[in-house]
Amino acid sequence: MPSPRSADHPAVPPPQRDTVDALISQTQRLRGGLDAVRRDTVADLGGTDDAQVRWQRALCRLAVHQLDDLDRHLGELREGLLADPSRTNSGTDKGTAADAAEPDGGTETDAGVTAEAPAASDATGRGSLLSRVGSAEWNLLSDEVTWSDELCRIFGRDPGDGGLTLDELPSWVFSEDQPILTTMVTDCLVDGKPIDGEFRVVRADEAVRTIHMAGEPVLDTDGSTASMWAVLRDVSELRRSERAVRESRDTLSHQRRIARTERRLAVEVQEAVLPPWRGSLRLPAGDGFPGAGTAADGAALDLAAHYLPSESSAQIGGDWYDALELPDGRTLLSVGGLTGHGVTATCGMAMLLGAVRGMAVAGIEPGPLMGRLNQLLAVSSSPALVGAACGQYDPRTRTLVWAQAGHPAPLLFRDGTGRPLRSPDGVLLGATTGAAYTQSEERLEPGDLLVLHTGRLARDAEDATERLLALAPRLTAAHGTQECVRTVAETFGDEPRENDACVLIARVTGARV
């Protein structure tokens, strides 16, 4: 479980790369100094071989192991910082790697014993290094076994009971690890090789401990092995933390794979549903629905649109823009956005956009269309809140009929100035059942510019509207809608948005009458 923290004390900030680099440098310097101490100790003792010398050599090897472990762990930490330099919310409030490990009581293994419970402090209150390192010597000539009190405590034995013989020791070791112990002991006693390895033991209280053993043979005057001497270290907590780190890393990698897959699916859905045209589009195009009307004075629409992603590339949302020529010659214009992100939001967007197109093709006007969309959301299995604006432009009369659902009004730019259109009544789709949606009508003139946006271009919709209106001189002087889109993209492209955004720009073509 996560470590308890007082509410009065903030969480410790995550380490920085320069801090970790400095720790790695210090560890490497200590490692070099330890090698020098080990060489000097061996030289000063002049080749003597007694218990004190063996103890010092074993402690040197033990310190080498600890520094090597520390250097490796710091290297892994540095690699993690390099892989995620922004240090987003992937772990700042979920506890440390050790917090993610098993509870203090351990877990049940396949053998039915308790796995690696944390080491307890001894009776004197020592709970750190001294209670987890002990020494042992097995005399082959006298069959005498000498264990330190610390080693007895590691094995859960009373120091008064003495240590285990080499014949008794394997019965305490996991069956899978018994060959490891046998090989180490045989190589030491027969071939005179140093011991360096790990194995797991099951204590009398069924607690499992992981033991690192470093030792060497003690030779008799005739060169034969007289005894075996070793330092044994309880590394259960270290291995437990390493396992927790591996599991956390594997879980994080799995979550990242899922996130990448979901983002790819969301992008594919988005690209399949949003209009495929790039650049400027002219509607009515004259080659749309059979029998579609045409503008008597050529008052068609020059259209361009742009999608602006959120600050986080993983946050693919449910925003859309759309322009479609209808069977009666009018042009459908719509923008909107669902709450949420990912595949769910983009699939919801695809459903709503399909419904908008279908009802518009069927001849339903914007106000009633919004009401039916609200009914559709009320019976949907995936409820969501949706803001949208929908208009239908008739090129023969140059009129725009439009409705909105909790959405910013389209902006009309004319003669170097801009203003929002008067908004009809309408609440967010999905907010309440039976909501009424009215519609407004606006007559446009050739050269007029309409800007429809999803309100997420800036930190809030009002700020986005004000900044768009400030672009009036540039937008009205632009040579085409594609240039207008570039202007908007330059203005809002670097905005730190939490959500994606869309903008649709339409200019009325033809001569004034």
When mean pLDDT is compared across 109-118, 148-157, 351-360, the lowest value belongs to: 109-118
* Sheet containing 440-443, strands listed edge to edge, beginning at the edge strand earlier in sequence: 320-325, 331-338, 386-394, 399-405, 440-443
- Stretch 106-127: mean pLDDT: 43
115 — pLDDT class (breaks 50, 70, 90): very low
Distance, CA of 501 to CA of 406 (rounded, Å): 16
Categorize the per-residue pLDDT at 20 as very low, low, confident or very high, splitting at 50, 70 and 90.
confident
The structure tokens 């520390």 sit at: 70
pLDDT over threshold 50, residue 97: no
Q: What's the confidence (pLDDT) of residue 81?
A: 61
Length of the chain counted residue by residue? 513
Lowest mean pLDDT: which of 69-83, 99-113, 397-411? Answer: 99-113
Distance CA 9, CA 222 (A): 65
Residue pLDDT, tens place only, 224-233: 888 999 999 9
The pLDDT value recorded for residue 179 is 94
Question: 192 in a domain, yes or no?
Answer: yes
pLDDT at residue 129 above 50?
A: no
Tell me whether residue 351 is in a domain: yes
- For residues 340 and 278, membership in a common domain is answered with yes
Q: Within 10 A of 106 (CB to CB), how many other CB atoms are there?
A: 19
Stronger pLDDT, 42 or 139, i.e. the higher one = 139
Residue 261 located in a structural domain: no
Specify whether 169 is located in the same domain as 195: yes
CA–CA dist 396, 330 (Å, integer):
9
- The pLDDT score that the predictor gives to residue 42 is 58
Q: In the predicted model, what is the mean pLDDT of the chain?
A: 79
* pLDDT given for residue 409 in this prediction: 93
Query: What is the average pLDDT across 325-343?
Result: 88
Which domain-ending residue is among 56, 85, 114?
85
Nearest CA among 104, 101, 131, 117 for reference residue 206: 117
Dist. CA 396–CA 254, nearest whole Å = 57
- Checking if the pLDDT of 145 tops 60, the result is yes
Give per-residue burial for 214-242: e unless 16+ CB within 10 Å, then b.
bbbbbeeeeeebebbbbbbbbbbbbbbbb
At 80 the pLDDT is: 62
What's the CATH code of the domain at 371?
3.60.40.10
Which residues span the domain enclosing 344?
274-508
pLDDT at 326: 94
Count of structural domains within the chain: 3
Residue of 96, 303, 120, 309 lying closest to 205 (CA atoms)? 120
Once rounded to an integer, what is the mean pLDDT over residues 143-170? 92
The verdict on 431 and 405 lying in the same domain is yes
Q: Which residues contact 208 (CB under 8 A, 6 or more apart)?
A: 106, 109, 113, 114, 115, 116, 117, 174, 200, 201, 202, 236
Which element (helix H / strand E) includes 336?
strand 331-338
Return the residue matching tokens 């240039």. 483
Domain with residue 196: its CATH number is: 3.30.450.20
Q: Among 5-9, 62-66, 206-210, 248-252, which stretch is predicted with the lowest mean pLDDT?
A: 5-9
Question: Could you tell me the two tokens for 467?
Answer: 């900044």
Q: Are residues 436 and 353 in the same domain?
A: yes
The closest of 343, 327, 337, 265 to 290, measured between CA atoms, is 327
Locus of tokens 């944390």 = 118
Same domain, 69 and 103: no
Residue 156 counted as domain residue? yes
Three-class SS state of 308: strand
DSSP letters for 371-423: HHHHHHHHT-SS---EEEEEEEEETTTTEEEEEEES-PPPEEEETTEEEEPPP
Whether 221 is in a domain gets the answer: yes
In angstroms, what CA-CA distances link 63 with 34, 118, 164, 339, 460?
8, 21, 25, 56, 58
Looking at the structure, do residues 282 and 356 belong to the same domain, yes or no?
yes
> Does position 507 have pLDDT exceeding 60, yes or no?
yes
Alpha-carbon torsion (105, 108, 109, 111), positive or negative: positive
The answer on pLDDT for 191 being more than 80 is: yes
* pLDDT value for 43: 58
Structure tokens given for 364: 């339903």
3-state secondary structure 89-140: CCCCCCCCCCCCCCCCCCEECCCCCEECCCCCCCCCCCCCCHHHEEEEEEEC
- The model's pTM is 0.56
What was the pLDDT predicted at 146? 93
274-284 pLDDT, tens digit per residue, is 777 666 778 77
Q: What φ, ψ does residue 45 adopt, rounded to 5°?
A: -80, -10
State mean pLDDT over 490-507.
82
Question: What is the signed CA dihedral for 284, 285, 289, 293, rounded to 10 degrees?
Answer: 50
57, 118: one domain: no
Strand pairing of 114-115 and 133-139?
A: unpaired
pLDDT of residue 369: 96
Question: Is 370 within a domain?
Answer: yes
In a domain, 317, yes or no: yes
Output the pLDDT for position 287.
Answer: 54
Query: What's the pLDDT tens digit per position in 60-91?
Result: 776 777 777 777 777 767 776 665 544 444 43
For residues 394 and 300, give the distance between their C-alpha atoms in angstroms, rounded to a whole number: 9
Residues 6+ apart with CB under 8 A from 234: 119, 132, 133, 154, 209, 210, 211
Is pLDDT above 50 for 473? Answer: yes
- Do 424 and 380 share a structural domain? yes
| More confident site: 49 or 32 | 32
Lowest mean pLDDT of 75-89, 203-217, 460-474, name the range: 75-89
State whether 62 and 103 are in the same domain: no
298 and 349 in a single domain? The answer is yes
Q: What is the structure's pLDDT at 331?
A: 94
Is pLDDT above 90 for 360?
yes
Question: How high is the pLDDT of residue 317?
Answer: 74
CA dist 502 and 320 (Å) reads 6
| Percent of the chain whose predicted confidence (pLDDT) is above 90 | 36
Residue 438 is assigned to a structural domain of this protein: yes
Three-class DSSP category at 466 = helix
CA distance 115 to 178: 17
Q: At what angle do helices 366-378 and 342-361 cross, to 10 degrees?
A: 140
Mean pLDDT along residues 385-396: 93
Q: What is the pLDDT of residue 509?
A: 87
**Separation CA 298–CA 290 (nearest Å):** 18
130 plus 36 within the same structural domain: no
Q: Tell whether 56 and 107 lie within a shared domain.
A: no
Q: Position of tokens 């956009």?
A: 353
